[in-house]
Amino acid sequence: MPSSLSHVYLSVGSLDDARRLYVDLLGLEVLIDGGGYVRIGGGGGFHMGRKSLYSRALLVELARHGWVCISANYRLRPRAVFPDYVVDAKKVIAWARRHAEEYGADPSVVFVAGSSAGAHIAATAALTQNDGVFQPGFEEADTTVAGAICLFGYYGPVDRGRQPLPSSPFDYVRPDAPPVLVAHGELDALVPASQARALADRLREVSTSPVVYAELPGGPHNFDLFHSIRFEILIDGIEAFTAWVRSQDAPRASEERRVEPRRGRRPIRTLAPRRAHPPRR
């Protein structure tokens, strides 16, 4: 069964305002050829949220299949301001790559993921790999990722008027972006699915890597808080996506496909790379 540990990964702030951020490690006692999966703390509009609330079913399932899963907090508003959130995520990625072998994981196969505001952070971190602007004090650290997984994310600008940097993932889309999976609920009442579709479309226009978009029929915001049939299907898709990225150099083309639901549910429409889902046995 998976076991959970906690580790301090960095201290932030001045001497009179020092704080620590923590990561939870979820994995198996013995790992063989495992990968690393970094999940950045959940939503809350960058104001609130805890790493322990979101995607627990996904983390446990990946851990059962040999992944070392890291769930991390990040600094919050009002004391933090963009790009502090991304800097924190990159600290975790660098830590994961540096310590992966200690936990039986492959340091060259690290995925970053996030939900809601965390999806914004995960996408921006993935699109700014090894960019010194987002790595103050650790510019030489390797923050490359094998792929990014973004769930019901907000992808617009943040903290406008408080800092001068472009602050939307759209601002950092680049040809050498890693493979990205974007999933959103059809009935999300907080962030319209059209924003997630627009990000996936923009990535497909610019990036040479595969992009997977999944829109969950009837899905709300925060669909990863509880077990549901739609989330179980998405977990299967995320497992297939990560396994496929690890198994080969991604082809540079995409095709429409359907993820057939269980128990009579409507299918999830996705845009997935060819051969992204190996045949089940």
Q: Which residues are tagged catalytic?
A: 116, 188, 221
At a CB cut-off of 8 Å and minimum separation 6, what does 93 contact? 38, 110, 112, 125, 143, 145
Burial grade of 99 (CB within 10 A; 0-12, 13-18, 19 or more): middle
Quick check: 103 and 97 in contact, CB under 8 A? Answer: no
Q: Concatenate the DSSP letters of all residues of 118-169 into one string.
A: HHHHHHHHHHTTT-GGG-TT-TTS----SEEEEES---S--SBTTB-S--SG
Give me the residue label for tokens 């992808």.
155
Torsional class of 20: left (φ above 0), alpha (ψ -120 to 50), beta (otherwise): beta
Cis bond upstream, residue 83 (ω within 30):
yes
At 244, the amino acid letter reads: W
Please, are residues 227 and 240 in contact by the beta-carbon 8 Å criterion?
no
Residue 122, both tokens: 């995960």
